[in-house]
Amino acid sequence: MSPGWRIWTSGTLGLPTVEDIVADLRSCGVATDPKNTNIFYSYGANNKKVVKNVINVNRFIQANPDLNAKSINHILPQSWYIALKEKYPGADSGGSMVQKAFNARNSQAYAKVSHDEVYVLIGGGVNIYTEPTVQATPGGENLRWVGRHNVWYDYEFRTLQMNQQVTAIYTVNAETLQVDRTPDGSWVRGRHGQNAAHHVDANTVTSTSLTRQKVAYLRAHPEECGNFENDWISQNQNWFSQDQWCSSFSSSFSFSSYPGQG
Q: What is the Cα–Cα distance from 119 to 117, expressed in whole angstroms?
A: 7
pLDDT digits (tens, 9 = 90+) for 92-119: 877 788 999 999 999 999 999 999 999 9
Q: What is the CA radius of gyration of the chain?
A: 20
Q: What is the Cα–Cα distance from 259 to 159, expressed in whole angstroms?
A: 41
With contact defined as beta carbons under 8 Å apart, do 27 and 19 qualify?
A: no
* pLDDT at residue 223 tops 80: no
pLDDT band at 254 (very low <50, low <70, confident <90, very high): very low
With contact defined as beta carbons under 8 Å apart, do 252 and 180 qualify?
A: no
pTM equals 0.83
Instruction: Look at 37-41, 52-56, 61-65, 169-173 and tell me which has the smallest mean pLDDT.
Output: 52-56
Q: What are phi and psi of 256, to 5 degrees?
A: -70, -15
pLDDT digits (tens, 9 = 90+) for 47-76: 655 554 447 888 999 999 999 999 988 899
* pLDDT at residue 184 tops 80: yes
Structural domain boundaries in the chain: 6-206, 209-257
Give the pLDDT confidence score for residue 212 in this predicted structure.
86
With contact defined as beta carbons under 8 Å apart, do 213 and 145 qualify?
A: yes
* pLDDT at residue 259 tops 90: no
With contact defined as beta carbons under 8 Å apart, do 65 and 36 qualify?
A: no
What is the DSSP code (8-state) at residue 147? Answer: -
Instruction: Look at 15-24, 37-46, 174-183, 210-219 and tell me which has the smallest mean pLDDT.
Output: 210-219
Instruction: Look at 40-54, 61-75, 209-223, 242-256 and tell me which has the smallest mean pLDDT.
Output: 242-256
Q: Does 6 or 90 have the greater pLDDT score? A: 6
pLDDT mean across residues, the chain: 81
Q: Does 38 or 139 have the greater pLDDT score? A: 38
Give the pLDDT confidence score for residue 143 in this predicted structure.
72
Q: Find the mean pLDDT for residues 157-164.
A: 98
Q: Does 238 or 154 have the greater pLDDT score? A: 154
H/E stretch holding 171: strand 166-173
